[in-house]
Amino acid sequence: MSLSKLESLPNEILCDIIEKYINGVDLLRAFSYQLNQRFDAIISRSQRLRFNFIQCHKDDFRICMGLLPAYMDKIEQLAISERETPGQVQAFLSFFPSLTLFRQLRTLYFDFDCGIVSELLIYWALNSLLRSNIETLSITAVNMNNGSNIEYTIR
């Protein structure tokens, strides 16, 4: 039995693997703009991507923030969290204050610390969801004080 290499798989199978099984963070880190035109074309041709930034290394996060605008119309699932990555939500919402920029977004996992993230950024992001096609939303907020405007936005 011979071993197959990733490069020997047909484009259709690679596209299916990318859309269904690979985290967009890993995809961009490993393949995007790595001098492989075939993989760049397959990634560009993909219709659905999912990005899970939970426990994402800071360097990988920075790389993704630079490359993400090229893939915003393809992202269906997005997970952003402050847990073990302090400042990630603040940075993400500073780049993308309105989540309506992600036109295909259907699932959002949003975990933030009110003591770290700007209330105004959270407010804009959550209100932008009213104009989206979101189907599944999970919000976890910690360190909310009683005078917070975020409480009224979330309820």
pLDDT (tens digit, 9 = 90+) per residue, 23-52? 999 998 888 766 678 888 888 889 999 999
Q: Is residue 71 part of a domain?
A: yes
pLDDT, one tens digit per residue, over 92-129 is 999 999 999 999 999 999 998 888 888 899 999 999 99
What does the alpha-carbon distance between residue 71 and residue 69 come to, in Å, rounded to a whole number? 5
Q: Is residue 35 part of a domain?
A: no
Q: Is residue 34 part of a domain?
A: no
Rounded to the nearest 5°, which phi and psi values hold at 89?
-65, -45
90, burial (CB in 10 Å: exposed 0-12, middle 13-18, buried 19+): middle
Residues 6+ apart with CB under 8 A from 40: 31, 32, 33
Q: Is residue 11 part of a domain?
A: no
Beta strand 107-113 with 49-52 is unpaired
pLDDT, one tens digit per residue, over 6-25 is 778 899 999 999 999 999 99
Q: Is residue 143 part of a domain?
A: yes
Q: Which domain holds residue 82?
A: 49-154
51, burial (CB in 10 Å: exposed 0-12, middle 13-18, buried 19+): buried
Q: Is residue 132 part of a domain?
A: yes
- 105: tokens are 């977004």
Q: Identify the H or E element spanning 146.
A: none
Q: How many domains does the chain have?
A: 1
Q: Closest Cα partner for 43 from 61, 66, 63, 16?
A: 16
